[in-house]
């Protein structure tokens, strides 16, 4: 059956003149990396110092300056209240969510008066995590543009497979603020598998174990005939190398308090202990032991740490990752022996303890040839190229968490279960529970638990205008649609009357369209140019499509036209092409409209002939198939 179908819809080569390059970005909790791929070869874009990793740390100066990366990270010690790090943990989160992180964050967090996403107070400013991430992305974009000596305006950005809708939306918004069009949000494990070329490897099941700074992710991917499918994912959005740093820092601080005979730990001490802890931990991946010093207010203390002690401190966290692995394998209904390979991702997988535990669990040595902290960006870059230049590999993702609706008594009714291939649309019917009820509150939640208060609230809206009926008589059909990026739209409809409401779910912890527009205006000095260019690009893409469609129709059916009719169409085509060459969006749209008017009669004649031929028994399959599609 497959072979009978025409293949004219192949993706055309992109038009070079349509803008800048597309890069792959791993926007990490601790570090971010950018890479670009050309002809299937990816290259990490490095800074002047040759390093690929840009610490995801931002320093906000009193003078309004914004510094991202290594310099910002170094500034943590001198001016901790001017620096923000680990902001990824706060993406799309409300105050409730971050309570568990309290104390682990080196800056103060508050909620906006109207609720919603947390706000960060730094250097006298109040910022959303989206804005801070946008600052990181701007720096990454600048690095890429400098390295490539070319404009960069499109990107594949990676997110943990476990990221919920709120966090995905926040990531997308951040990229938009930074002037980057997100071609696709790709799950980090999938990107890592692409980097290893598993799309060309033996078919089968692969596991990706990603332990970074702030998040842990494990995914089972199935690769078959060039199609990647995420079979199951699990993880913890607040588990990573940072936790190990904290454990070591506490160990150091306890030693220090004892040695100096002090009771209180200052913020400065805590910060320095954390930094020293990270350095010690990374060092012990290579050596067996060492000595480090913490010095605050002229009071030094020395701390010895060996690998055995480190591993004792790290074991509870590594153990948690292993039990999540076990859960994911069970969830997917597969046997461990089905797993043909394991990919290591994330800087924390450099720890020998982690490698040993992973090898023990999966019963095989994991793949680790590509730098574990760069592998995700490499895969993202390959995917960015695939999306813009066309490729045979296809990434099929699944919903990371179940999506549902609150019903009576705070119980969650699932509408889309987790691990469903996306894009997906599913509907569920609900009814009123009071006589004469004319409105219904719809509360959208995400999570696996049965009770609403144990799930994450995504959005609330009210369906109004339900005709008054007896309780239980109204039929309200709620449809959830999740697109290929994992972003949710919800619509509700009373089926008897057709009263309908559509809401793109702007998560409770997200930014409203107004806030987003406001930020775009404030943050981009050329925001208006950016918007105008975007709108023009859209109009031009649409106009090009119209021109190609009409030309294809002419090649197939121009015998239906008289000389003057053909001339009129040719003139209208030429007009659209002239408009496309300019920069006036209205002129483009007007020319397209005139082209449509000029071809109206032609279209009718073509339809007439098609129907006549069908009636005469000409196989519909062969209709107009003399030409192979409309691309030139």
Partner 1 sequence: MNASAAAAILPCWSCKGPVCGRALFCSVCGAVQGPNAADHFARLGMTPAYDIDIDALERQYFGFQRRLHPDRFAGRSGKEKMLSQQQATSLNEAYETLKDPLKRAVYLLGLLGRAVDLSACGTISDPELLMEQMEKREAIAEADTVEAITKLSASADADVIACQCHISAAFNAGDLDAAAELATRLKYLTKLAEDARARKGRLMRGA
Ligand X SMILES: Nc1ncnc2c1ncn2[C@@H]1O[C@H](COP(=O)(O)OP(=O)(O)OP(=O)(O)O)[C@@H](O)[C@H]1O
Longest Cα pair distance anywhere in the chain, in angstroms? 100
Binding region for Mg ion (CB under 5 A) out of 208-216, 327-335, 445-453, 491-499: 208-216
Number of shown-chain residues binding ligand X (CB under 6 A): 23
Binding region for partner 1 (CB under 8 A) out of 2-10, 23-31, 133-141, 518-526: 2-10
Q: Is 514 annotated in the active site? A: no
User: By C-alpha distance, which of 477, 515, 482 is closest to 496?
Assistant: 477
Binding region for Mg ion (CB under 5 A) out of 26-34, 86-94, 167-175, 409-417: 26-34
| Lookup: tokens for 259 | 């040695």
Tell me the pairing of strands 181-187 and 152-159: parallel
Q: Identify which of residues 38 and 125 has a Cβ nearer to partner 1 in the complex.
A: 38
Place of tokens 């709108």: 535
Q: How far is the CB of 188 from Mg ion (least distance, A)?
A: 6
Q: How far is the CB of 550 from partner 1 (least distance, A)?
A: 7
Q: How far is the CB of 34 from Mg ion (least distance, A)?
A: 13
| Residue 226 binding result from partner 1, Mg ion, ligand X, none, given CB thresholds of 5 to 8 Å by partner type | partner 1
Length of the chain: 632
What end-to-end distance do the CA atoms of the chain give, in Å? Answer: 27
Q: Is 145 annotated in the active site? A: no
Site for partner 1 in 421-440 (CB under 8 A): 421-425
Q: Which of 97, 153, 188, 245 is catalytic?
A: 188
User: By C-alpha distance, which of 125, 106, 126 is closest to 116?
Assistant: 126
Residues linked to residue 236 through DSSP beta bridges, in sequence order: 216
SS3 state of residue 430 = strand
d(C-alpha 501, C-alpha 441), whole Å: 12
Tell me the pairing of strands 21-27 and 152-159: parallel
Site for partner 1 in 259-318 (CB under 8 A): none
| Residue 213 binding result from ligand X, partner 1, Mg ion, none, given CB thresholds of 5 to 8 Å by partner type | ligand X
Q: How far is the CB of 106 from ligand X (least distance, A)?
A: 15
SS3 state of residue 133 = helix
**Sheet of 204-211, strand order:** 339-345, 204-211, 216-224, 227-236, 394-396
Q: Which of 52, 94, 116, 241 binds ligand X (CB under 6 A)?
A: 241
User: By C-alpha distance, which of 504, 385, 545, 351 is closest to 43?
Assistant: 385
Q: How far is the CB of 342 from partner 1 (least distance, A)?
A: 19
Q: Is 210 annotated in the active site? A: yes
User: By C-alpha distance, which of 405, 401, 430 is closest to 415?
Assistant: 405
Q: Identify which of residues 240 and 510 has a Cβ nearer to ligand X in the complex.
A: 240
Site for partner 1 in 533-562 (CB under 8 A): 538, 541-542, 545-546, 548-550, 552-553, 556-557
Give yes or no for a contact between 565 and 602, defined as CB atoms under 8 angstroms apart.
Answer: yes
What is the signed CA dihedral for 519, 520, 526, 528, rounded to 10 degrees? -130
Q: How far is the CB of 102 from partner 1 (least distance, A)?
A: 28
| Residue 326 binding result from ligand X, partner 1, Mg ion, none, given CB thresholds of 5 to 8 Å by partner type | partner 1
**Residue 405 neighbours by CB distance under 10 Å:** 20
By rule CB under 8 A, what string of x and - marks binding of each residue 470-499 to partner 1? Answer: -----------x-xx---------------
Q: Which of 88, 281, 357, 506 is catalytic?
A: 88
Give yes or no for a contact between 231 and 332, defined as CB atoms under 8 angstroms apart.
Answer: yes
Q: Which of 135, 210, 374, 515 is catalytic?
A: 210
Q: Identify which of residues 28 and 630 has a Cβ nearer to Mg ion in the complex.
A: 28
Site for partner 1 in 7-36 (CB under 8 A): 7-11, 14, 18
Site for ligand X in 177-236 (CB under 6 A): 212-215
What's the gap between Cα 337 and its chain centre? 31
| Residue 621 binding result from Mg ion, ligand X, partner 1, none, given CB thresholds of 5 to 8 Å by partner type | partner 1
SS3 state of residue 514 = helix
Tell me the pairing of strands 204-211 and 339-345: parallel
Burial class (CB in 10 A: 0-12, 13-18, 19+), 617: exposed
User: What is the Cα Rg of the chain in Å?
Assistant: 28
By rule CB under 6 A, what string of x and - marks binding of each residue 264-293 to ligand X? Answer: --------------x--xx--x--------
Residues 6+ apart with CB under 8 A from 596: 546
Place of tokens 């060459």: 581
Site for partner 1 in 356-395 (CB under 8 A): 386-388, 390, 392, 394-395
d(C-alpha 458, C-alpha 456), whole Å: 6
Q: How far is the CB of 370 from partner 1 (least distance, A)?
A: 23
Whether the ω angle into residue 423 lies within 30 degrees of 0, i.e. cis, is yes
Give yes or no for a contact between 501 and 491, defined as CB atoms under 8 angstroms apart.
Answer: yes
By rule CB under 8 A, what string of x and - marks binding of each residue 175-214 to partner 1? Answer: --------xx------------------------------
Q: Which of 116, 129, 212, 400 binds Mg ion (CB under 5 A)?
A: 212
Binding region for partner 1 (CB under 8 A) out of 97-105, 207-215, 492-500, 599-607: 599-607
Q: Is 88 annotated in the active site? A: yes
Q: Does 570 bind partner 1 (CB under 8 A)?
A: no
Binding region for partner 1 (CB under 8 A) out of 88-96, 138-146, 234-242, 608-616: 608-616
Could you give the residue numbers annotated as active site? 26, 88, 188, 210
Which positions touch ligand X (CB under 6 A)?
28-31, 56, 88, 212-215, 240-242, 278, 281-282, 285, 346-348, 350-351, 373
């Amino acid at each position: 059956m497959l072979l009978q179908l025409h293949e004219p819809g192949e993706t055309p080569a992109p038009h070079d003149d349509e803008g800048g390059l597309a890069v792959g970005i791993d926007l990490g909790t601790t570090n971010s990396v950018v890479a670009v791929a050309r002809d299937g070869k990816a290259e990490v874009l490095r800074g002047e110092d040759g390093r690929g990793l840009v610490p995801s740390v931002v320093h906000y100066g009193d003078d309004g300056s914004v510094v991202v990366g290594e310099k910002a990270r170094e500034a943590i010690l001198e001016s901790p209240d001017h620096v923000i790090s680990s902001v990824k943990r706060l993406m799309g989160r409300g105050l409730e969510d971050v309570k568990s992180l309290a104390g682990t964050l080196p800056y103060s967090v508050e909620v906006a008066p109207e609720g919603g996403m947390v706000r960060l107070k730094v250097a006298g400013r109040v910022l959303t995590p989206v804005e801070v991430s946008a600052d990181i992305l701007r720096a990454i974009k600048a690095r890429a543009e400098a390295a490539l000596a070319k404009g960069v305006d499109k990107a594949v950005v990676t997110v943990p497979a476990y990221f919920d809708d709120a966090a995905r939306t926040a990531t997308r918004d951040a990229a938009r603020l930074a002037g980057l069009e997100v071609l696709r949000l790709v799950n980090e494990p999938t990107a890592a598998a692409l980097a290893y070329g598993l799309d060309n490897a033996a078919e089968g099941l692969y596991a990706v174990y990603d332990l970074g700074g702030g998040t842990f992710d494990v995914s089972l991917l199935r690769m078959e005939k060039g199609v990647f499918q995420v079979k199951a994912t699990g993880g913890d959005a607040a588990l990573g190398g940072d936790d190990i740093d904290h454990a070591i820092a506490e160990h150091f601080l306890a030693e220090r308090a004892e040695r100096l005979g002090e009771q209180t730990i200052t913020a400065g001490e805590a910060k320095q202990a954390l930094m020293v802890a990270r350095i010690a931990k990374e060092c012990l991946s290579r050596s067996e032991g060492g000595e480090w010093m913490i010095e605050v207010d002229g009071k030094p203390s020395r701390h010895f740490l060996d690998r055995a002690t480190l591993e004792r401190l790290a074991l509870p966290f590594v153990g948690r990752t292993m039990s999540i692995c076990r859960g994911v394998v069970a969830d997917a209904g597969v046997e461990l022996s089905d797993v043909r390979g394991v990919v290591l991702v994330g800087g924390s997988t450099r720890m020998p303890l982690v490698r040993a535990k992973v090898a023990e669990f999966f019963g095989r040595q994991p793949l680790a040839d590509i730098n574990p902290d760069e592998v995700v960006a490499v895969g993202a870059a390959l995917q960015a190229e695939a999306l813009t230049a066309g490729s045979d590999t296809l990434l099929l993702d699944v919903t990371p968490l179940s999506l549902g609706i609150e019903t009576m008594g705070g119980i969650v009714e699932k509408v889309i279960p987790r691990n469903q291939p996306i894009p997906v649309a599913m509907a569920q019917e609900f009814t009123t529970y009071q006589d004469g009820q004319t409105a219904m509150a719809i509360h959208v939640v995400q999570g696996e638990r049965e009770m609403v208060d144990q799930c994450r609230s995504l959005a609330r809206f009210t369906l109004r205008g339900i005709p008054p009926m007896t309780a239980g008589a109204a039929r309200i059909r709620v449809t959830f649609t999740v697109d290929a990026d994992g972003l949710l739209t919800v619509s509700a409809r009373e089926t008897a009357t057709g009263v309908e409401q559509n809401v793109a779910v702007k998560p409770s912890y997200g930014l409203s369209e107004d806030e987003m527009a406001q930020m775009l205006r404030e943050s981009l000095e050329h925001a208006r140019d950016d918007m105008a260019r975007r709108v023009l690009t859209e109009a031009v893409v649409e106009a090009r499509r119209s021109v190609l469609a009409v030309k294809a129709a002419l090649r197939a059916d121009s015998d239906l036209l008289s000389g003057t009719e053909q001339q009129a169409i040719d003139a209208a085509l030429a007009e659209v092409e002239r408009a496309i060459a300019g920069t006036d969006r209205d002129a483009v749209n007007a020319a397209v409209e005139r082209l449509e008017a000029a071809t109206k009669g032609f279209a009718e004649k073509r339809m007439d002939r098609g129907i006549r031929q069908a009636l005469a028994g000409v196989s519909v399959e062969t209709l107009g198939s003399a030409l192979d599609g409309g691309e030139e």
